[in-house]
Structure 1
Amino acid sequence: MVTPIDEFGTQVCVASGVATAKAERFQLLVAALLSSQTQDPITYAAMQRLHQLGEGGGGLTIEAVLATKEERLDELLQPVGFHRRKAQQLKRVASILRSRHHDDVPTGLDELLALPGIGPKIARVILLLAWGKVDGIVVDTHVHRLAQRLGWAGATMDPESTRRELEDWIPRELWGKLSLAVVGFGQAVCTARNPSCTSCPLAAECPSAFKIQPATRMKMKKPPARLEKEQQRGKSNSE
């Protein structure tokens, strides 16, 4: 089963033939930063545009970002969620990596969290993909939802609480693999609105199986009689 994260996830957003390991790690950081509040295909498309940065299309590097105006970055990022803010953050991150980290991605969670736009989830994604380091289970909206439905964690609105509960009983050696696998499963099978319980291999053990109400379209409210008459009168006058 191929899922959106397999085709468009952060791990496949690196340019083919990237010149250096540092450049590869930076591209992974950028893709992870852009992925927040954005669907994977949109992030992937934005990354392809960013790969054309630099003199002669030299690629997405710290140097290229620093040399590009923020307004141009904003244009390239659209329609990424909060693209204007992320263009600002991208410029600041590039500057910090140059001045404090020798043009490289930090190897520690606290150092990553100190970067603009990088929260706990994104920081753990970067550590996992850029450095192969597992500093906890990555809990995004899909992992959080599945943990609730499967009864893996108690009812909470806080992904960090879910992460701590999962880490209490899931063996550490599975944390990295579980993060990527559950995200894909949530995208393709246990979706937010219309989960495919009939084809789910976990349905027999899932306490939420066949209990999620299918999504329905909201019906438009009929306008008040007075407004409806005014609309009809305006239409008649225009004819």
Structure 2
Amino acid sequence: MSKNKLPKTPYKTDEQKERAEELLNELYKYYPNPHCELNHRNAFELLIATILSAQCTDERVNKTTPALFETYPTPELMAEAPLEELEQLVKSTGFYKNKAKSLKETSQILTEKFDGEVPKNMKDLLSLRGVARKTANVVLGNAYGINVGVVVDTHVKRLANRFDLTRESKNTNKIEKVLMALFPRENWTDLSHLMIHHGRAACKARFSTPSNHPICKKYGRRCECQSMSSD
């Protein structure tokens, strides 16, 4: 199976969906303004920022992109950029040689094939260098308001397991399908942001003491931050 091809949507009971909707409402209560934390002014900037965010924090990307977009604000200009200059501009995000190539080649494809516009569908987005399903979901959901899937990053993967939404711990495509089956489509983009906000604020990967957050206490059936001792 292709890494970007999703497995069949699993069946979920009304009880499972009801629990998921209750969890969603609780997340909205504690994080009422779910949003993408990558700074961007348009779909092109979001696409580039998301490519740079691979194996890198949003904070670091947000410190890198202002100079990048000031120098190369459009696909046309970035497509013509010397590769060495792109490498220097994005060096602090890590894996900068591959990322610079992705930025340049993606910009070339946007310019030559899509008239300088970022596509509004999954198939065309996946034809761009450096773009897999996760990146495409980010762009479609946040730049265009199109809910095609759920962004599954390390926080979403961790919380999906801790909240006992899935027993799948590795395959992000399978996790995404489970979340798509449990939650209403109109909330898919928000869901990722809500889980990321909670993962960063309360239900972190490593704890010295339990978080004692109400959401973790109520829904964290497999939540390590609730099961561990505070001694």
Please show how residues 68-83 of structure 1 align to structure 2 within 5 Å. 68-83=81-96
- Look up the match of 1:210: 226
What code does the residue aligned with 2:135 have? I
What code does the residue aligned with 1:77 have? V
Distance change in 2, residues 1:76/1:196 (3 Å)? farther
- Look up the match of 1:30: 48
- Look up the match of 1:170: 183
Matched, 1:124 2:137: yes
Larger radius of gyration: 1
Residues 5-64 of structure 1 deviation map (CA, whole Å, 9 limit, x = unaligned): 96x822x233xxxxxxxxx2211111111111110111111111212205xxxxx21122
Residues 99-120 of structure 1 deviation map (CA, whole Å, 9 limit, x = unaligned): 1101000111011111100011
Distance change in 2, residues 1:124/1:196 (3 Å)? farther
CA drift of 1:212 comes to 4.9
CA drift of 1:213 comes to 7.7
- Aligned residue for 1:78, secondary structure, equals helix
- Look up the match of 2:27: none
Aligned partners of 1:190 and 1:196 also within 8 Å: no
Alpha-carbon distance in 2 for matches of 1:125, 1:85: 20
- Look up the match of 2:63: 45
TM-score, scaled to structure 2 = 0.78
Distance change in 2, residues 1:97/1:213 (3 Å)? farther
- Look up the match of 1:112: 125
- Look up the match of 1:217: none
CA drift of 1:197 comes to 3.6
What percent of counterpart residues are identical?
A: 30
- Aligned residue for 2:200, secondary structure, equals helix
Residues 80-111 of structure 1 deviation map (CA, whole Å, 9 limit, x = unaligned): 13111010011100100011101000111011
Please show how residues 145-184 of structure 1 align to structure 2 within 5 Å. 145-184=158-197
Indicate which of 31, 36, 40 corresponds to 1:13. 40
TM-score, scaled to structure 1 = 0.76
CA drift of 1:196 comes to 6.6
Aligned partners of 1:189 and 1:195 also within 8 Å: no
- Aligned residue for 2:92, secondary structure, equals coil
- Look up the match of 1:234: none
Structure 2: any 5+ residue segments left out of the alignment? 1-29
Alpha-carbon distance in 2 for matches of 1:195, 1:9: 27
Alpha-carbon distance in 1 for matches of 2:153, 2:229: 22
Alpha-carbon distance in 2 for matches of 1:26, 1:196: 41
CA drift of 1:210 comes to 2.3
- Look up the match of 2:6: none
Instruction: Judge which range, 72-81 or 202-211, deviates more.
Output: 202-211
Matched, 1:137 2:165: no
> Runs of at least 4 residues of structure 1 off by over 6 A?
none
- Look up the match of 2:213: 200
Aligned partners of 1:138 and 1:163 also within 8 Å: yes
What code does the residue aligned with 1:38 have? C
Alpha-carbon distance in 2 for matches of 1:213, 1:132: 42
Aligned partners of 2:157 and 2:169 also within 8 Å: no
What code does the residue aligned with 2:187 have? L
Aligned partners of 1:134 and 1:175 also within 8 Å: yes
What code does the residue aligned with 2:150 have? I
Alpha-carbon distance in 1 for matches of 2:149, 2:208: 27
Structure 1: any 5+ residue segments left out of the alignment? 15-23, 55-59, 215-239
Aligned partners of 2:52 and 2:61 also within 8 Å: yes
Aligned partners of 2:210 and 2:229 also within 8 Å: no
